[in-house]
Structure 1
Amino acid sequence: MLIARKAKDAKDNNEMLNILKQNYIDCNIENSSLSYIIEEDNNIIGGCNFYFIKDNAVINFLVIDKNKTGEKIGDGLLRAVLNYCLINGIKNAYFLGNNQYFIKKGFREEREFNKDVFEKTDKKSDTVLVCNIEKFLSKKCCP
């Protein structure tokens, strides 16, 4: 059974960092950020890290174990994270960078945006992707 939940402790975050390393992704988990993980049979197989700025969420990364890609697990994790955001009054989710996964899921490029939204990230990119969370969650899953 798959379970998506908030990361509880450093052990959860360390397992997520190991998955990032396996996928050759160099990211950090800031203390002020939130993490969601997805488990299968009590094993962490993916994670998403994000933070809130006003009524926006900024996604730092979403990663699934390389042995589990193609199983729509990322879609489930993204939906769990965006549902958590919506419940907490967040209207939009952003991703800094040109990421085909997020584009495929319905994020679109935003030309004009408040740069303060990205104050906590060390990523550099001219491309910003945005998603209206309510619209996203009203659509059928797994496009």
Structure 2
Amino acid sequence: MSELRFTEDHEWLRAEADGSVTVGITAFAQNALGDVVFVQLPELQAYDKGAEVATVESVKAASGVYMPLDGEVLESNVKLEDSPEQVNEDPLGEGWFFRFKPADPEALGKLLTQDAYDRLIKAQDDN
């Protein structure tokens, strides 16, 4: 498995061997949400970076999932429609949301590393 990258919106990204990128929400995000009860997945189409492409609803709140880079969504994790709890049980594995083809594959390397994301979380916890 390749190195994960992260966004400030608490999404993780993993580059796949075929050039696609898998996206999910981090353990920090799913812990903050609480028990996930519903997931609305993105349409298979192109999106601009920052566009809200999915929604996660929990017993506490609803939250958006944003397109981390410009690109085209190739696949959504339809298993989440019947088993949204997978987001809580395995956020970095079976709880992934979608895969997309980035318009600029090099842009992935500009996102947060694990260390940078850990510092972001620590800073948020300190506030």
State the TM-score, normalized to the length of structure 2.
Answer: 0.27
Q: Which structure carries more relative contact order (alpha carbon 8 Å, separation 6+)?
A: 2
